[in-house]
Amino acid sequence: MTNTGDLRDAVIDEVDRLAERMVSSLSDAIAVPSVNPRYPGQEYDKIVGAESDVSALLADLYAEAGADVTKVTAEPRRDNVCGVVAGAGGGRSLLLNGHVDVVPEGRLDRWRGNPFQAVVTDDKVVGRGATDMKGGLIAAAYAAVALRRAGVRLAGDLLLQGVVGEEVGDHEAGTTAVLEAGFTADAAIVCEPSGQAGTLPAQVPVTPGLLWFSISLEGKTAHSGLRGMTVHPTLEGDALGVNTVDKFLTVYQALRALEDEWARHNRHPLFPPGYFNLLPGVLRANPSGILVPFFLADELTVEYCVYHHPDRSNEEVIAEIESRVLAACAADPWLREHPPVFEWKLLWPPYSLPDDAPLNAVVAGAHAAAAGGVAPQRAGFMGVCDLTWMDRKGLGGLVYGPGVGFTAHAENEYVEIAQLVQSAKTYALTAIDWCGLTDGA
């Protein structure tokens, strides 16, 4: 029987030998502009299909790792890829999951080059998707390749997944589709970015809840020269005109006050104080059909993104937000008679892995073994991910992966090569410890 310690050392050595290839494969993946075709503002027919190209790239790596590779397609031209490295039997199964879609490139003038042409330096890879999250996908694939090259035969199955749709919560086409196709496991690691600059990846067992909603206000248009008479109630007031931009301040102040309350009272040990927030990220206000400021704006819609405490349900937070806004509006005569209209567009529930879940200790031990004895930091996830939808299918897990979180969705996004290598080692050692080895390994 091969010594287990020797096998673990051999796997670590194989990952180190594969480091240059990992960087090259990541560069190849970045070169595919796999922007989610359902991302707001995109031309679906123009860009659909690129996700499948990344899945095909991963399929080749999964096959190299000895996996049985299957394409799962819930929506035409948007292929998920699943690889199963079959175990000998008697061990637990492990899933390494990541998404192949990326967000749009943003402002090209702020990139130091083509966002879909990787720039490789001594310590990082720059390009759209490097952090979020092609780096994690590549690290997972090469972890499986390293296991095979080191001669490791697992007892339990190791599953690899590259899925579409995550960036817009389209899990029915992605993660949920592959789970429903039977590609599930006893535990999962979602290989999303969990590091920061100059650090190793953190171990992330909890994600916040995410809400996307809009509030629309109705006003009454009038000539711009009449503003003074409309804003002073001792004059004509709302009988003459109502500017929705002014009325929005009532809504804004109510939600800003709620945000401050959350910062004071909604604390979580794995999130920094003030993390849970209400962002008014998009604001549209104008006179109906007119984009000049010579009229009072009688239309306004504001779009909010909310991250809330993982111990609270989406339904509870929705009720709180609507209650606060409506209470504030009740004090305004116009808004009392013309209340705001809410539209809830995306509801992404939070997720938490129990502290005593066995996967926590296994991943922590694998990280430490790959990092020379240094235990991983524990943190909350800076966004949301497909763990939520896995949980709905009875599959628990955590986030661990390469990437500098604050560069996700930003120009000049990058991943540190040291995190890429560390993640591949951690995934491989986790597979050994979680899935177990055969007697002949």
Residues 224 and 200 in one domain: no
Residue 1 is predicted with a pLDDT of 45
Contact 221, 297 (CB under 8 A): yes
- Residues 6+ positions from 416 with CB-CB distance below 8 Å: 123, 124, 195, 197, 198, 402, 404
- Chosen domain end from 307, 330, 348: 348
Show which of 333, 348, 363 is a domain's final residue: 348
Q: 143 and 43 in one domain?
A: yes
User: Exposed (0-12), middle (13-18) or buried (19+): which is 49, by Cβ within 10 Å?
Assistant: middle
Predicted local confidence at residue 5, as pLDDT: 83
Residue of 166, 238, 246, 413 with catalytic role = 166
For residue 366, being part of any structural domain is answered with yes
Are 313 and 426 members of one domain? no
Kindly report the CATH number assigned to the domain that includes residue 360.
Answer: 3.40.630.10
- CATH code of the domain in which 228 resides: 3.30.70.360
Q: Do 409 and 341 belong together in one domain?
A: no
Are 144 and 87 a contacting pair, CB within 8 Å? no
pTM, two decimals, is: 0.94
Catalytic residue among 101, 132, 170, 246: 101
Is 97 within a domain?
yes
Claim to verify: residue 328 and residue 378 sit in the same structural domain: no
For residue 2, the model assigns a pLDDT of 56
| Same domain as 269, residue 165 | no
Where the chain has pLDDT below 70, the residues are 1-2, 440-441
Q: Does 260 participate in catalysis according to the annotation?
A: no
Indicate if 99 and 148 belong to the same structural domain. Answer: yes
> Is residue 308 located within the same domain as residue 355?
no
The answer to whether 384 and 212 have CB atoms below 8 angstroms apart is no
Residue type, 151: G
pLDDT per residue as tens digits for the range 239-278: 899 999 999 999 999 999 999 999 999 999 999 999 999 9
Residues 169 and 305 in one domain: no
The boundaries of the domain holding residue 284 are: 209-348
List all residues 6 or more positions away from 285 whose beta carbon is below 8 Å from its beta carbon.
244, 245, 248, 297, 299, 300, 301
Tokens representing 169? 């919560």
Q: Is 322 exposed, middle or buried (0-12, 13-18, 19+ CB in 10 A)?
A: middle
Answer with the one of 305, 328, 348 that is the final residue of a domain. 348
Q: Output DSSP code: residue 35.
A: B
Whose CA is closest to 196, among 427, 60, 380?
380
Output the six-digit token pair for 342.
């809410």
Q: For residue 440, is it within any domain? A: no
pLDDT of 440 reads: 54
**Is 166 labeled as catalytic in the residue annotation?**
yes
Residues 6 or more apart in contact with residue 323 via CB below 8 angstroms? none
Q: How many domains does the chain have?
A: 2
Angle at 114 between CA 109 and CA 115, to 5 degrees: 90
Q: What is the pLDDT of residues 393-416, one digit of tens each?
A: 999 999 999 999 999 999 999 999
| 155 in Cβ contact with 113 (< 8 Å) | no
User: Beta strands 68-75 and 124-126: pairing type?
Assistant: unpaired
Phi, psi of 281 (to 5 degrees): -95, -20
Please check whether residue 312 lies inside any domain of the structure.
yes
Of the candidates 387, 400, 350, 337, which has an alpha carbon nearest to the alpha carbon of residue 200? 400
